Amino acid sequence: MSLLTVSDLTVSSADGRTLVDGLSFSVGRGHRLGLIGESGSGKSLTTLAVAGLLPPGLRASGTVLLDGTSVLGAPERSLNRLRGRVAAVVFQEPSTALDPLMRLGHQVAEPLRRHQGLRGAALKAAVLASLEEVALPARVARAYPHEVSGGQRQRAAIAMALACRPALLIADEPTTALDVTVQAEVLALLDRLATAHEMALLFVSHDLAVVGKVTDEVVVLSAGRAVRTGPLRSVLADPGDAYTAALVASARRLDEALGGAL
């Protein structure tokens, strides 16, 4: 059975507009899926729905099964057992994803304390190990978020998400706020960690080139609807619909301009 099964997910706003329209996909254990689309295509709403975090004003129908448990309309209590352990989220903007008034070490310690019951010296060692895993120096533990760089903040956020060893990591545009060189490092890090922990990855981005670096399958979203689903290679070779074709063409142009080969 798949780790995450989304079938016929529809999200609509209070005034009746359909934001996500009959979306279906699944992610197996250890598999990676990219969710691609432009702003407003419903990518982020989909991730929020999967994590059970939809804002109260929105109505969702269809089913989202996370490790066999239904997420939509589930009470907070049963969601809390899934969150962190089954699925964790890395957000787009690392400067708001971290509490500005809490030292990074404390923020990384929080999920470790909750999920692994660590205290005292063991907790401290686990925090340092988590930081080392995302290639952050130990001194970062004592720093506030504003005292480290954007890339380091995103690494810290990844360390927090990974602290509970989730089976699925949901990454919502994790590199969009970073500059290009740092982007590549963070992508490589996610790739390495996902492989090392046999973690499934739901990777959301508007950038085909970025998605191409970490996932093998993609769902292309346009206006809340899946317009193309399939392995990345076949999508690139045969985009099918006009929207995907435009997306692939623009990614190719960018890639050629940079002198690489997609």
Partner 1 sequence: MRRRVFLVTGIVLVALVLAVALVSLFWTPFPAADTTGGRLEGPGAHHLLGTDKLGRDLLTRLMIGARIAVAVGLGAVALGAVLGGLAGLLAGFANRWLDDTLAALLDILIAFPTLLLAMLVVAARGASLASAIVAIGLAMSAIVARLTRVLVKRVLAMDYVTAARTSGVSWPRIVTAHVLPNIWPTLAVNLALQFGLAVLAEASLSYLGLGPPPPNASWGRLLQEAQSTVLTAPTGAIAPGVLLVVLVVGVNLLADGLRDVADPTRRGHR
In the complex, which residues of this chain contact partner 1 (CB under 8 A)?
A: 51, 53, 56-57, 80-81, 83-85, 87-89, 91-93, 96-102, 107, 110-111, 114-115, 144, 146, 157, 160-161, 163-164
CB nearer partner 1, residue 81 or residue 253: 81
Give every CB contact of residue 200 below 8 A, 6+ residues apart in sequence: 3, 4, 27, 28, 29, 30, 31, 32, 33, 167, 168, 169, 194
Minimum separation from the CB atom of position 200 to partner 1 (A): 15
CB nearer partner 1, residue 96 or residue 149: 96
CB nearer partner 1, residue 102 or residue 258: 102
Whole-number Å distance between alpha carbons of 151 and 153: 5
Tokens read off for 172? 């919502």
- How many residues comprise the chain? 262
Minimum separation from the CB atom of position 187 to partner 1 (A): 20
CB nearer partner 1, residue 85 or residue 124: 85
Minimum separation from the CB atom of position 101 to partner 1 (A): 5
Q: Identify the H or E element spanning 88.
A: strand 87-90
- Report DSSP state, residue 27: E
Minimum separation from the CB atom of position 53 to partner 1 (A): 6
The identity of residue 139, as a single letter, is R
Minimum separation from the CB atom of position 202 to partner 1 (A): 13
SS3 content of the chain, % helix, strand, coil (to 5): 45, 25, 30
CB nearer partner 1, residue 32 or residue 153: 153
Contact 3, 168 (CB under 8 A): yes
